[in-house]
Structure 1
């Protein structure tokens, strides 16, 4: 057995010598593309062979830790809680990777009779052979075993899947002769599992139904944690809904201060390119976009009127703030049903898109009077604004009109009326951040104009904006006529 250790020590010594050379400035960085790919391929092959040894070692540790006498167990002798802990200590891998190796060991490692102690064939002998050849890594074996183990069928019926998946790993499978990745093998194993056990999805769905759930935690640092497990169809619908909202643009061309030679704007303060692409970079992370998309879905659903009523009214978010704080624009507000406090910017956004009920409370706590300020745009006004704006008026934002909120350009508290000449479409994200994101909006002769941040337009000029295809066509026609009449 010393031959195995001697060989491994020799390989480690050789790698210890070559890795610093490869990581030097004139190492891999100086190679051509083909050479870099060859190095990565060879390193991956070496990794798969090494994982085969780790999996076999984990299988041996598993067998030696199943004895009834606790003191005789390998895990006990080496001070480990279980085999995964033992693998993690020996390899310094993460807990997830160690668990992956243990699962692979259960799939392709040798098994032993509980009473006789005789060596039994592994559960998936073909996958074991493929792993010994270095064509399968521990992650692929674990992924395949996880899918096939779910099929409630006799182990003998799994042999066909075992053989076919091992053949696919060698390049002789449904991927067209190519070598599949671990994820592709997992998908193939899913197909096999469904074919072997077509009724298996029903008990899994019953279990999923029992484990489904969603909960909101207590607010911390201005954030409310959300935890839960979604059913696949619910998660799929949510994913499609968020995909329809999220701005697909993650980068945009640099803004041209001259407007790209566009026509003179109606404000007479410089040229602008009405139909040109002046998209801006969306700095939000993917998770932040997902949050904002969920916020859009919730607010749109409550606005739709399709949800059940609460106390005879549509679901309404109650936000309370003291009159003196609102007047001084300093202080905080409280969200009904949450122990979190929010800044007044949140109050302004919610009030802009909804109605206000002023409740006057006397010094003794008695409600003296209630005033209702109806500031919600009517469906007819919303349709008219949609025709004019097309969607969110911030350049580069692709959120459609149906998902947008209507922003009072002149705040209602400052005398701004609720009519089409004072309302513009903004997505939830830009509406929430309009006071701090560097964008400014004004109405000029009933047309929305925006002024971008200094990094987008150093000159800070006002520019008409719309994503309405009809208005865009009108402007392009006007520009064509202007060019045709010029000398």
Structure 2
């Protein structure tokens, strides 16, 4: 048997040479398709090597070996830490590789006899490069949890069919199934095999529910939410109530000139959720942290804040945030000056300022009734308070300078084109140019804006002739 590391290094060198000599931009369509298929085939072979290595690391670092486990001998807590130091891959990726590696690694009986892997056919398909990581994981993740309820023979039967579908062709399809199709087929097998499982579906759902920790990519945080059906239904109903124009609360007839929402549906759902979180954090029933309401801590250099450039950083979040996001945090939640010397010592701590207190918030809520942007249905409890005249420009933290804006309209107030003006302490708005039907700024009147039912009733009564008693 030759040295496997040398063989992999040689293959690696050949791949690097191919990359150096190839510019995919110069390939015609058919050549690009062929190159993509070849690259994916090479990737499947690499997947198999990484999965096999991770499985072996997991076996040699299993807990029952104590101080003799490989990870301990290399000064690591477990196999994941050891692999992370070697590969520089994320712990999440390595954990998944280890799970698949353990499931496709040949087992050893107490007598020392070699036994097939739990997913022996998946292991063979991985070893020949017929399937990649995604298809293998789809099969294992679906079938392994039901093995104890349906038995090894039934799982093996489903595995045979799924590997055949993933490698193709089959009676059902002249080409192999893609990984997403394999996962769907595996779910069908799960329902067929486990129709009357010993563990009720509701109990399994309770065990599966959860919200995963966030993974930051491209400036946004990706989370996986696994909700019980009744919780999802409540959440969906709540979102729809504030996104469906027919269900938006209105005291009078709908305004035919109300602006249309420029956001995509998914974006609008995100922004409703953001407002919901803000409202929950401000609730008197929310638990406190260190005696204070739950507070997101954002740090930013004073020079960057003054210049309006640079970035801020949220405690516990990997991705930096823009200065616009920092300004929104400061406007809604206040700021505290901490002077840190060149040597890192804290020289002084200022008081928390520019925050509207509870009494002011109640008064502004009674006046505005919700986000004051026409057409927006976010209620007052979910809204933030915006300084109409910016604090840095001398604007005071007083009711005559504060208005309710939802999370989205607060974030975009400087760029959306909406204008806000306090006239005798009352909020008035002007729409952006694209909503003015060709009228200039001078031709567009300021419009008083409120969602308060009592305020709307007063305005309606002022517009009507005197009532006949």
Match of residue 170 from structure 2: 86
Partner of 2:282: 303
Distance (whole Å) between structure 1 residues aligned to residue 345 and residue 184 of structure 2:
64
- Partner residue, 2:428: 449
Q: Could you say which residue in structure 2 is the equivalent of 1:369?
A: 348
User: Within the alignment, does 1:467 sit opposite 2:440 as a pair?
Assistant: no
Alignment-derived partner of residue 216 in structure 2: 219
Q: Would the aligned equivalents of 1:83 and 1:102 in 2 still touch at CA under 8 Å?
A: no
C-alpha distance in 2 between matches for 1:309 and 1:303: 10
Query: How many angstroms does 1:95 deviate by?
Result: 6.5
Q: Distance in 2 between matches of 1:86 and 1:368?
A: 73
Matches within 5 A, 1:4-83: 80=164
So what's the TM-score if we normalise by structure 1?
Answer: 0.55
Q: Does 1:152 align with 2:196?
A: yes
Q: CA 1:362–1:82 in structure 2 vs 1: closer, same or farther (change >3 Å)?
A: closer
1:40 equivalent in structure 2: none
Change (3 A) 1:88 1:416: farther
Which of 348, 368, 384 aligns to 2:327? It is 348
Give me the whole-angstrom Cα distance separating, in 2, the residues matched to 1:275 and 1:205.
43
User: Judging changes above 3 Å, is the alpha-carbon distance between structure 1 residues 247 and 360 closer, same or farther for their aligned structure 2 residues?
Assistant: farther
RCO greater where, 1 or 2, for CA within 8 Å and sep 6 or more? Answer: 1
C-alpha change, 1:322 and 1:74, in structure 2 (3 Å) is: closer
Q: Which runs of structure 2 are paired with 1:256-335 in the superposition (5 Å)?
A: 276-335=255-314
| SS of equivalent residue, structure 1 residue 224 | strand
TM-score, normalised relative to structure 2: 0.57
After TM superposition, give the deviation of residue 481 of structure 1 in Å. 4.3
Pick aligned residue for 1:241 from 238, 243, 262: 238
Whole-angstrom CA distance in 1 between matches of 2:455 and 2:245? 23
Partner Cα distance (2:226, 2:187) in 1: 24
Measure how far apart 1:94 and its partner are.
6.7
User: What whole-Å deviation, never above 9, does each CA across 1:390-419 have from its counterpart, x for those lacking one?
Assistant: 221111112222221111111222221122
| Match in the other structure for 1:52 | none
* Pair 1:378-2:362 in alignment: no
Instruction: Give the aligned CA root-mean-square deviation in angstroms.
Output: 3.8
Contact 1:247 1:398 in 2 (8 A): no
Give the distance between the partners of 2:187 and 2:418, measured in 1 at CA. Answer: 54
User: For the Cα contact (< 8 Å) 1:84–1:99, is it kept in 2?
Assistant: no
Quote how far apart the aligned CAs of 1:440 are. Answer: 1.5
- Residue by residue over 1:427-484, the C-alpha shift from the partner in whole angstroms, topping out at 9 and shown as x without a partner, is 11111111111111111111111121111013233222122232223223333349x9
CA contact (8 A) 1:360 1:368 kept: yes
Contact 1:278/1:396 (<8 A) preserved: no
Deviation at 1:82, TM superposition (A): 5.6
Deviations 1:136-182 (A, max 9, x none): xxxxxxxxx95x876539xxxxxxxxxxxxxxxxxxxxxxxxxxxxx
Gaps of 5+ in 1: 1-65, 107-144, 154-199, 252-272
Deviations 1:98-118 (A, max 9, x none): 8878988x8xxxxxxxxxxxx
CA distance in 2, matches of 1:218, 1:294: 18
CA-to-aligned-CA distance 1:211-268 (integer Å, 9 cap, x gap): 22222333222101111312223323322333344353699xxxxxxxxxxxxxxxxx
Alpha-carbon distance change, 275 to 410 in structure 1, aligned in 2, over 3 angstroms: farther
CA distance, structure 2, for counterparts of residue 426 and residue 418 of structure 1: 15
SS at match of 2:200: helix
**CA apart distance, 1:369:** 0.7
Give the structure 1 partner of residue 144 of structure 2: none
> Secondary structure of 1:383's partner?
helix
